[in-house]
């Protein structure tokens, strides 16, 4: 994830995983289960944890404060990331 300007510690940042192909919905839903288990194990309270359906892909979004994203990014290895705003996800 490359963010040109470092966000503030509490800025919500979405770690995103993209899934393509005929089984993308099922694969994304399965990945979501593992992220939910990880959050429970680590006693994290995500701002959002969801699957977003787009035309050609399913996207799993795991939103946490930037300070936690920095720590967890090397462990979870998201495909990409972005500053999260609720309106951007609707």
Whole-number CA gyration radius for the chain: 13
Q: What is the pLDDT of residue 60?
A: 98
What whole-number percentage of the chain has pLDDT above 90? 83
Q: What value does the mean pLDDT of the chain take?
A: 92
Read off the pLDDT of each residue in 3-14 and give the average, rounded to a whole number. 83
Is 89's pLDDT higher than 70? no
What digits encode the pLDDT tens for the residues 9-45?
Answer: 899 999 999 999 999 999 999 999 999 999 999 999 9
**pTM, rounded to two decimals:** 0.88
> Domains in the chain, ordered, with CATH?
12-89 (3.30.70)
């Amino acid at each position: 994830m490359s963010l040109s300007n470092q966000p503030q510690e509490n800025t919500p940042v979405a770690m995103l995983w993209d899934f393509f192909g005929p089984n993308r919905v099922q694969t994304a839903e399965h990945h979501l289960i593992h992220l939910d288990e990880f959050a429970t194990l680590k006693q994290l309270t995500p701002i959002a944890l969801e699957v977003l359906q787009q035309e050609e892909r399913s996207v799993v979004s795991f939103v946490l404060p930037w300070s936690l994203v920095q720590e967890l990014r090397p462990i979870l290895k998201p495909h990409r990331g972005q500053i999260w705003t609720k309106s951007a996800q609707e």
